[in-house]
Each structure stands twice: as C-alpha cells, then as structure tokens.
Amino acid sequence: MYVWPSALVLAEYVFQHLNMVRGTQELPTTVLELGAGTALPSLLLAKVLPSTHNFVIVTDRPDVPLILDNVRASLKENGMEGLYPSDSKAQVMVRGLGWGDFALASKDNKDGGLLQLLEDVSAIGSGRIDLILGSDVFYNPPGKQSDDRL
C-alpha cells in the first residue's frame, strides 16, 4: 500500500473544502472515488462527515481484489467496521469498478460493471452521485502487468 502524492494533495483539498461535500439529512451527498488505491480522500470524508448526511463509494479495479481488501482493512483499522450493503446503516461502500475497461463493465459483472454501480447508487442516499474524486486514475506503468504495482 503506497499513498501517491496526488492522493495526499486531493485529501488536503477535500479537507479544506468540506462544505462542497457536506450534505444534509434531507439531501445527503454521495461521493464516488475512482481508482482509489489506498482511498485516503474517501477515508478522510468517511471519518469527518456525519454518516447521516453523506455516503462514500470507494472503487478500484475489480480484477485486483487485493486493492479492495486493503481498502476494507484500512477502513476497519480506522473505526469503520460495517460496510454497505452488509451493514445497511453504513456510510461507506467498497466495490470494484471497471470504469476504464469495458470488458469489466458489463451488466453481468456485479463488481466491475458501471451499470451495476448506477443500480447500487439508486438504492442509497440521494440516489445520485454528487461528486466524483480521482487523484491518480491514469496509473499504469508501460510494459508491466497491472498486478506488479501491488
């Protein structure tokens, strides 16, 4: 697990501008982080914002489950025991999302599909995505397999 400098910058920016993501009980805010890696910005939001006013969806590649397992472990280590959908009151969902790979984004792929994400979003919070975060979404070293970065 490596926190890229861009994640640090984005987390700092989000912290300095919490009002842009602060929802209300009547109109909660849903934030989607793409290619989250260690999910620092999402973790920050989940820690500092009221759970009744916000929902955070943390995503990364569905074909590298170790990334998502590390995110879940990090959230648990930081006091977020339950995750949506197994805990219906949780404010955080961790899931795969193949947003840049259409082979992963099919209706049949429950973890990786963009269509499935949209169905999931319609069942939570406000039913929409209010803010999309991405701090290092273009990482893919030339000539290496994606799994090598783990």
**Per-residue model confidence as pLDDT tens digits over 14-37:** 999 998 888 887 788 899 999 899
Task: Examine the pLDDT at 13 and tell me if it is beyond 60.
Answer: yes
Residue 139 identity (one-letter amino acid): Y
Question: Rounded mean pLDDT of the chain?
Answer: 83
Per DSSP (E only), the strands in 4-53 are 29-33
Q: Which range is least confidently modeled, 5-9, 32-36, 139-143?
A: 139-143
DSSP 82: -
Please state, in angstroms and rounded to a whole number, the distance separating the CA atoms of residues 106 and 12.
34
Report residue 14 as tokens: 């989000």
Q: Please, what are the domains in the chain?
A: 5-13+29-139 (3.40.50.150)
